[in-house]
Structure 1
Amino acid sequence: MSFRGFNRANASSGMGVSDQSKSTFLELQRKKVHRYVIFKIDEKKKEVVVDKIGGPAENYQDFSSSLPENDCRYAVYDFDFVTSDNCQKSKIFFIAWSPSTSRIRAKMLYATSKDRFRRALEGVHYQIQATDPTEMDIEVIRERAN
């Protein structure tokens, strides 16, 4: 069964994960040298690659404004917060960004590759699927982390 050149075998297999994507995630997770990493699918290479990196001084507003308005992306964000008993903590969020205005083909490609890519990033605490900015607002992140 195929849909305009998009066959089900390819759809279920998902994209590969570039070595750079894995190593950049580890830098965020272990060394804390990045606040966030945004990933995109490179259809020619058939893998998920790094699209943009946010430095440790960048904040959530910098991150959310870096996501494209009309295209899908995957992202990880390292959220620092202080608990009610005054402990400094950090939680890593995986965000699947799929705005309603993006192309159907992009939505399908990102949806079918998400689980495989997400599994490659060991150490993610929370996952969020967002189709508009309100679904991944800083308050949503704060609420999930606590």
Structure 2
Amino acid sequence: MDVITHRAIEYLLLPPGGLILLGFLGLLYWRFGYGRRVFVFALLLLWVTSLPITADLLAQGLEIHPALSEERLAESHPEAIIVLGGGRNLDAPEYGGDTVSARELERLRYAAKLARQTGLPVIPSGGTPIYFGEPEAKIAARILHPAG
């Protein structure tokens, strides 16, 4: 399966694509009673999932680890700092091409802070470009080490 087909299926099935498909299904069966209910249900679910409070409630389950303290850092004896990719902004004219997303920039900033504290190397990770261009890891490394 090629990348474009894979991404199209991904965007159709993952939120909000699945809810939009459900809404279209409701429109398709509008003249039957259940079609209207499916459409209204899809719209209501789309609205609820777009609320910031819903995002916060869903993220709480993922954010179970506290911020890394200097004591925990000293106890764990790490050998490197790995920065997970967080997305790219394609063709950002102010940067002369692709750059990392705001979320990944926050991660890089925190990794740079930890690297200054510990002297550990920072290893950015992330990805195969969706269609073309540099992988996220190379862009992140260029941001961390602009001269290199």
TM-score by length of 1: 0.29
Which one has a larger percent helix, Structure 1 or Structure 2? 2
* Structure with larger Rg: 2
Higher relative contact order (Cα pairs below 8 Å, separated by 6+ residues): 1
